[in-house]
Amino acid sequence: MSIENYRESFRPLHSSSVEVAHLHELLGQVYGLSAPLTTPSEHVDFELSDENSAPLAEVVEEVGRKVVRYAVNNRHPLAMAHMHPPPSTVSVLGDAVIGALNQCAFIWEEAPAAALIEREVVRWLCRRVGFGEQATGLLTSGGTMSNLLAAYLALTRAREHSHVPSDLCVIASDQAHFSLQKAVSLLGLGQGALVRVETDAQGRLLPGAVREAALRQAGAGRFPFLFVCTAGTTNAGSIEPSEEFVETAALFGGWCHVDAAHGGMLCLSPRHRAAAEAWRTADSISWDPHKSMYVSYAVGALLLRDRDADAALEFHSEYALKDDECLDAGNRHFEGSRRFDALKLWMTIRHFGTSGYAALVDHGIDLSRAFALKLSRCNDFEVLTDPDTNIVCFRYRRGCGDEVDNRVNTETQRSLFRMTGRPLLSSTKVRGSVYLRAVLGNPFLAEKDFDHVIAAVRDEAGKQAAGLGANRECP
């Protein structure tokens, strides 16, 4: 076929075009999903043959039938397994524009507005966390990349003080996200460089534990160059005491990073932001808009208190990043080609404003506290800890010992995922006990849904316990 035929594939999406009809068709299917998840009854085949050429209508039909139909429907109130809220409509609109524009948020020549918009959303986020005018930052693909970059910047500073890698260690709690482990490994520090401070049975740090751990490391001749406070632990959304991390980091001349990938939401609520007060004194903060700001993936942010804190990320090249160009979005960034995702964040902030975000965040946290309270009043459920954000960790308890309870909760979570129409929960382990985990950030969720969730878990857990031979009396 001649190139003429293929030029058709780049036609504009006019309102009357057949492509727009396809878009309507697919979005109609996405927004029409009625269950949290429909598990396919048999294997779905995605194999690409050597000759794949197919008319657009056929591709669209296949995506609807094979992908959309079996997707996790994160708009459904019962889809509460992960930090995965439904994207706002304005963000989805942003995605379409970003795709059509296809600007590369790397150099000014490829995306003139990208640097300005990225700078503006970063400034907005910095103001929310209480950083001053000197603050800076960058958008990333999420918390993993933000944590890696923060660790790299902290390490660069430590090396300026001539510490050798074998001396160096990072202090964080045992609830810190595993991306920190990845960062430590990628930076060549070795797994042993990450010192995980033990938390209590509720996954909370004891007062003074961070300082004690740092003193112990220093006593053994190691330099704690990075302190990572997790603000919104992955397991239970708990907020760790940032004051202690900041003070201890200052004592040792180390870098204090707050991993608020999830907990950044607190800064959006006048009712809850007091818990984030000390973050303004940290060196850096990770905050993922894709977790708590109703923006579709993949939008994270690394915020830095001091303008030049990201200097170690500045590199130049002859073909692109020249030294005299300051309007390059990728000027101080590790990644090269990047989507213009700043645009959808900018659009979503413009749409919700601070008051809209306050309402959304308060809704999720209020619901979580109400759900935890309701569960704690049931004698067959146990709640790990009072929620600080919008995550509730809980477990069904048969009272037949930890081993049986662990198996029952593990199987219950798996089984609910396999049943169409049932609540989607995740599961995790804290101090050897398996917990079910619900993230309540969905604006469509209401207190009236709790009875259904509890009944579904109780029903399934009862069946699993019976399957294990654990009757009410226990053997």
Ligand X SMILES: Cc1ncc(COP(=O)(O)O)c(C=O)c1O
- Per CB under 6 A, residues contacting ligand X are 83, 142-144, 147, 177, 179, 230, 232, 234, 259, 261-262, 288, 300
Specify the residue, 230 or 242, whose C-beta has the smaller distance to ligand X: 230
| DSSP one-letter code for 377 | T
H helix and E strand count, the chain: 13, 11
Specify the residue, 91 or 464, whose C-beta has the smaller distance to ligand X: 91
Specify the residue, 269 or 426, whose C-beta has the smaller distance to ligand X: 426
Specify the residue, 262 or 363, whose C-beta has the smaller distance to ligand X: 262
Q: Measured between alpha carbons, how far is residue 46 from residues 22, 51, 52, 154, 313 in Å?
A: 20, 14, 12, 43, 39
Coil, strand, or helix at residue 294? coil
User: What is the distance, to the nearest Å, from the Cα of residue 314 to the centroid of all Cα atoms in its chain?
Assistant: 26
Q: Where are the strands (E) in 118-188, listed by range? A: 136-140, 168-173
Coil, strand, or helix at residue 70? helix
Specify the residue, 139 or 158, whose C-beta has the smaller distance to ligand X: 139
Specify the residue, 385 or 464, whose C-beta has the smaller distance to ligand X: 385
- Least Cβ distance, residue 178 to ligand X (angstroms): 8
Using CA atoms, how far apart are residues 224 and 218, in angstroms rounded to an integer?
Answer: 7
Using CA atoms, how far apart are residues 462 and 456, in angstroms rounded to an integer?
Answer: 10
Contact predicate 438/392, CB 8 Å = yes
Any idea which residue has 């213009």 for tokens? Answer: 340
Token readout for 205 is: 């740090």
Specify the residue, 177 or 338, whose C-beta has the smaller distance to ligand X: 177
* Ramachandran area for residue 467 (φ above 0: left; ψ -120 to 50: alpha; else beta): alpha
Using CA atoms, how far apart are residues 316 and 295, in angstroms rounded to an integer?
Answer: 31
Specify the residue, 241 or 300, whose C-beta has the smaller distance to ligand X: 300
Specify the residue, 88 or 292, whose C-beta has the smaller distance to ligand X: 292
Residue 57 CB neighbours (<10 A):
13
Closest by Cα among 82, 70, 83 to 35: 70
Using CA atoms, how far apart are residues 131 and 124, in angstroms rounded to an integer?
Answer: 10
Coil, strand, or helix at residue 276? helix
Residue 179 CB neighbours (<10 A):
20
**Which position's Cβ is nearest ligand X?**
142
Specify the residue, 389 or 413, whose C-beta has the smaller distance to ligand X: 389
Residue 364 CB neighbours (<10 A):
24
Coil, strand, or helix at residue 376? helix
